[in-house]
Amino acid sequence: MKTVHSKILGELTQDNRFEDWWNSKPIKIPLIGAELNAIFTDFEPEQDESFIKEADTALGHFLNLGEEYKNQISGLVYDHFREYCSMVGEEDIPDDMKGIDKSEIWKFISPTQIIITRRPYNEPHIFINMTCECTWEEEHGLQLVFKKGKALTRVSDQDGHLTEADAYDIPDSEDELLAKFEE
């Protein structure tokens, strides 16, 4: 079995199903106060020699995000929930979520894993995608994407895209959260 080594995650083993996926043991995520598995995806060590170093840098930033940052982004996650509510009928909104405010949104979210990958379009930076199950959207779930692990740059259903720009084929400058990203 092939392995690669990350200074932050330790040894990652190659996935049995996908050759370009590498799985870690669970790691504590301060942002949510829980442990999650991490996966490097779309990573071929022979073809991307800087991936692990860049991923470790992004993970270092991501692991520095804690409760205070979680509170800062609660409004963005809540806005995503409210957008969902505006597209469905009243009967499709879970009863226990009717009338909640942004401070309560995290009670309805269960993070499942973090995916560390390189953006395939435009700028080839490392992004960390925290996939989640959520009470209001059981079919498509929720993803919280962090550019370089530093800042939340996308809140969406789990659709396979790292940015709104990629999802809607628009310039990065028109992607509201991505355009606000500052080093």
**What is the average pLDDT score of the chain?**
95
For residue 75 the two structure tokens come to: 């409004």
Domain ranges of the chain: 1-183
Q: Residue 71: CA atoms inside 13 Å, Cβ hemisphere, count?
A: 3
Tokens 């932050």, residue located:
8
3-state secondary structure of 57: helix
pLDDT tens-digit map of 63-109:
999 999 999 999 999 999 999 999 998 888 999 999 899 999 999 99
User: What's the DSSP call for residue 24?
Assistant: P
pLDDT value at position 182? 84
Number of neighbours of residue 110 by Cβ within 10 angstroms: 14
Report the predicted TM-score, pTM, of the whole model to 2 decimal places: 0.95
Instruction: Give me the phi and psi of 40, to 5 degrees please.
Output: -85, 130
Q: What is the SS3 assignment for 155?
A: strand
- For the record, the structure tokens of 63 come out as 């692991």
52/66 Cα distance (integer angstroms): 23
Q: What is the mean pLDDT of residues 149-164?
A: 96
Question: Is residue 120 classed exposed, middle or buried when 0-12, 13-18 and 19+ CB atoms within 10 A define those classes?
Answer: exposed
Q: What is the DSSP letter of 156?
A: E
Q: What is residue 1's predicted lDDT score, i.e. its pLDDT?
A: 76
List CB contacts of 72: < 8 A, sequence separation 6 or more: none
pLDDT band at 146 (very low <50, low <70, confident <90, very high): very high
Q: What pLDDT does 123 receive?
A: 87
Dump pLDDT digits (tens) for 104-126. 999 999 999 999 999 987 889 99
For residue 82, the model assigns a pLDDT of 94
Kindly indicate the confidence band of residue 155, based on its pLDDT and cuts at 50, 70 and 90: very high
Tell me what percent of the residues of the chain surpass a pLDDT of 70.
100
How many other C-beta atoms can be found within 10 angstroms of the C-beta atom of residue 47?
8
Of 166, 125, 126, 163, the closest CA to residue 143 belongs to 163
The DSSP H or E segment spanning 168 is: helix 164-168
